[in-house]
Amino acid sequence: MESGAPHALPCPVDDDDDFYWDAEAEAELQAIEAAHAAESAKRRRLPDWSNTPAPAPVRPRPNPVRAAASASSPSSVLSPPTCQGSVKARYQQVAFRGKIVYCRTATEVDKATREIMRKIESMKASGPVSLGFDLEWKPFPRRGEPPCKVALMQLCMDKTHCYVMHIIHSGVPPILKSLLEDSSSVKVGVCIDNDARKMFNDYDVRVQPLMDLSTVANLKLAGPYKRWSLAALTEMITCKELPKPGNIRMGNWEAFVLSKKAT
């Protein structure tokens, strides 16, 4: 029996084995229980800081491809998430369920661009059209060589189609240049200014107008200013993880034909 615990009182019984407590036994039992409770509370007393009111809960911080995530995250949806999970391992991964249209030749890029432009035309009456925009290029050129050119462009307007254009092989046809420079669609991405500058330096294309979701997030979300990545912003807004495998992200985007995983 644990030291300090009250000793069990004998339970008197009558001739019919019915349990009962007389008034004196009941009073004694209550006194013992009160003394034991006081002693236990003293031994288990929490430090003073435990009485401090708990701080207000902090909202967790927040691409199938990055462009798809950008297209679905205009400023109107940048609001605090309803979930409060903060353990990344618990996040469900974002998965793109639409069709990926891979274009490698100038003819394929031309056809895909016309399809995008028809969609934009049909949506303009409803307000500004967001076009998710993202680029990929080989990160590390050989020593002494200039930076690698943009190899891949991803354009996405909705959850049904994402267009992956391998422009290192197709080049930038005039109609694609026209789409990227046309003000009828807002090109949306995270830190998109860098991608726009890269396209101008590599292909003389002025991508415009631009909406940087990192900037919008800092205006809409509480907390200190930060430079968001698309992965972090996706977690913050959707409470889902945006997978970015290193072997894909740092892979050879100039390959003759991309692997299925890369697209």
Give Cα 206 to chain centroid, integer Å.
29
Check whether residue 241 and residue 128 sit in a common domain: yes
In a domain, 210, yes or no: yes
Cis amide bond preceding 47, omega within 30: no
Contact 152, 167 (CB under 8 A): yes
pLDDT above 70 covers a percentage of the chain that reads 58
Q: Who has greater pLDDT, 256 or 62? A: 256
Q: Give me the number of domains the chain comprises.
A: 2
Q: Who has greater pLDDT, 156 or 17? A: 156
In a domain, 92, yes or no: yes
Parent domain of 12:
1-53
- Give 224's contacts (C-beta < 8 A, 6+ positions apart): none
Check whether residue 44 and residue 99 sit in a common domain: no
What pLDDT does residue 257 have? 64
What pLDDT does residue 151 have? 95
- Give 217's contacts (C-beta < 8 A, 6+ positions apart): 62, 78, 228, 233, 236
Mean pLDDT across the chain: 75
In a domain, 129, yes or no: yes
Which tokens is 14 given?
A: 């009558």
Check whether residue 87 and residue 25 sit in a common domain: no
Checking if the pLDDT of 175 tops 90, the result is: yes
Check whether residue 171 and residue 233 sit in a common domain: yes
Average pLDDT, stretch 163-174?
97
Q: Which of 24-33, 55-64, 127-136, 139-148 has the lowest mean pLDDT?
A: 55-64
* Nearest to 71, CA basis, from 2, 119, 3, 9: 119
In the 3-class helix/strand/coil scheme, how is 38-105 assigned residue by residue? HHHHHHCCCCHHHHCCCCCCCCCCCCCCHHHHHHCCCHHHCCCCCCCCCCHHHCEECCCCCEEEEECC
Checking if the pLDDT of 74 tops 90, the result is: no
Report the CATH number that the domain containing residue 127 is assigned in CATH.
3.30.420.10
**pLDDT per residue as tens digits for the range 183-209:** 999 999 998 999 999 999 999 999 999
Q: Which of 20-34, 124-138, 148-162, 170-184 has the lowest mean pLDDT?
A: 20-34
Check whether residue 76 and residue 45 sit in a common domain: no
What pLDDT does residue 107 have? 98
